[in-house]
Structure 1
Amino acid sequence: MKKVAINIISSAKIFAERKIENLDEKRLVPHMMTRRRLTRNSKVMLFLSDKCNFKNGKIVYGSCFSELEETAKIANAVLEKEMLSPTSFQNSVYNTAPSYFSLVNKDIDEIITISSGMKTSLDSLKVAALQALVSKEPVLCICAECINIKNIEQINRCTKYLEAGAAIVLEIAEDEEGAQEIMNLPIEGLIGSLQDLVSVVNMNEKGIKKILIEL
Structure 2
Amino acid sequence: MINLKILKYAQIADVQKCTTLNEKTIVSDMMLRRRLTRNARIALYLADQIGAEQNAVVIGNGYGEVSETYDILRAIYEKSSLSPTAFQNSVHNTPASYLSIVEQNRGYITTVSDLQDTASSVLKVGAIKSLQYPQLALMVTDSINFDQIAEINHCGIEFLEGGAALLVTRTSEEATITLRGKSYPKYSRTLWPMLEIIEQCESLPAGCGAIISIAV
TM range (shorter): over 0.9
Say which of 164, 167, 170 aligns to 2:165.
167
Post-superposition shift, 1:185?
4.6
User: What does residue 45 of structure 1 align with?
Assistant: 43
Which residue of structure 2 lines up, in the alignment, with residue 155 of structure 1? 152
- Identify the residue that residue 134 of structure 2 maps to in structure 1: 137
The amino acid across from 1:43 in the alignment is: R
Q: Write the distance in 2 (CA, Å) between the matches of 1:189 and 1:140.
A: 25
Residue aligned with 1:61, SS? strand
Query: Alignment partner of 2:164: what SS?
Result: strand
- The two structures have a TM-score, normalised by structure 1, of 0.94
Secondary structure of 1:34's match?
helix
Shift of 1:206: 2.0
Alignment partner of 1:180 is 2:200? no
Q: Which runs of 5+ in 2 are unaligned?
A: none
Shift, 1:187, TM fit: 3.3
**What secondary structure sits across from 1:211 in the alignment?**
strand
Give SS of 2:34's match.
Answer: helix
Match of 1:25 in 2: 23
Residue identity matched to 2:55: G
CA contact (8 A) 1:185 1:202 kept: no
How many residues matched?
211
Contact 1:183–1:200 under 8 Å retained in 2: no
| 8 Å Cα contact 1:186/1:198 also seen in 2 | no
Q: For 1:34-113, what aligned pairs fall within 5 Å after superposition?
A: 34-113=32-111
Equivalent residue, structure 2, for 1:204:
201
Identity among equivalent pairs (%)? 33
Of residues 113, 128, 147, the one that matches 2:126 is 128
TM-score by length of 2: 0.93
Q: Hey, what does 1:4 align to over in structure 2?
A: 2
Q: Is the 8 A contact 2:10 2:164 kept in 1?
A: yes
Structure 1, gaps ≥5 residues long: none
What CA distance in whole angstroms lies between the structure 2 residues aligned with 1:187 and 1:10? Answer: 21
Q: State the distance in 2 between where 1:97 and 1:136 align.
A: 21
